[in-house]
């Protein structure tokens, strides 16, 4: 794959890197290097190297944000409906 070639040439000084594609979707991908114990989070042109432990914390961070965003949008939709109702009453 093209992406693996790019990564390998970018860190040719680390010949012992053993990269595994953990996850991939339309937002980006996460590759884990077993020897470095580092996960590489790639979002478009941005690449972040985070340790395996931080990956767990990051999952919690993202899950929490998704949950709170859904609640926020839900509350906002209800508030909008209520204000629309109030306007029609007055």
Task: State the residues that interact with Zn ion by CB under 5 A.
Answer: 17, 33, 35-36
Say which residue the tokens 């998704």 belong to: 66
Smallest distance from Zn ion to CB 52, Å: 12
Residues in the chain: 90
Nearer to Zn ion, 17 or 48 (CB): 17
Measure the CA–CA gap between 17 and 56, rounded to whole angstroms: 21
Measure the CA–CA gap between 38 and 65, rounded to whole angstroms: 23
Q: Determine contact, residues 21/29, Cβ cutoff 8 Å.
A: yes
Smallest distance from Zn ion to CB 9, Å: 14
Nearer to Zn ion, 8 or 64 (CB): 8
Smallest distance from Zn ion to CB 37, Å: 8
Nearer to Zn ion, 9 or 86 (CB): 9
């Amino acid at each position: 794959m093209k992406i693996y070639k790019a990564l390998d040439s970018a860190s040719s000084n680390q010949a012992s890197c053993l990269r595994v594609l953990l996850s991939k979707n339309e937002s980006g991908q996460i590759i884990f290097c077993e020897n470095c114990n580092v996960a590489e989070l790639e979002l478009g042109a941005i690449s972040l190297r985070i340790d395996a432990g931080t990956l767990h914390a990051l999952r919690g961070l993202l899950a929490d944000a998704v949950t709170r965003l859904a609640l926020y949008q839900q509350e906002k939709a209800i508030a909008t409906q209520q204000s629309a109702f109030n306007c029609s009453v007055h």
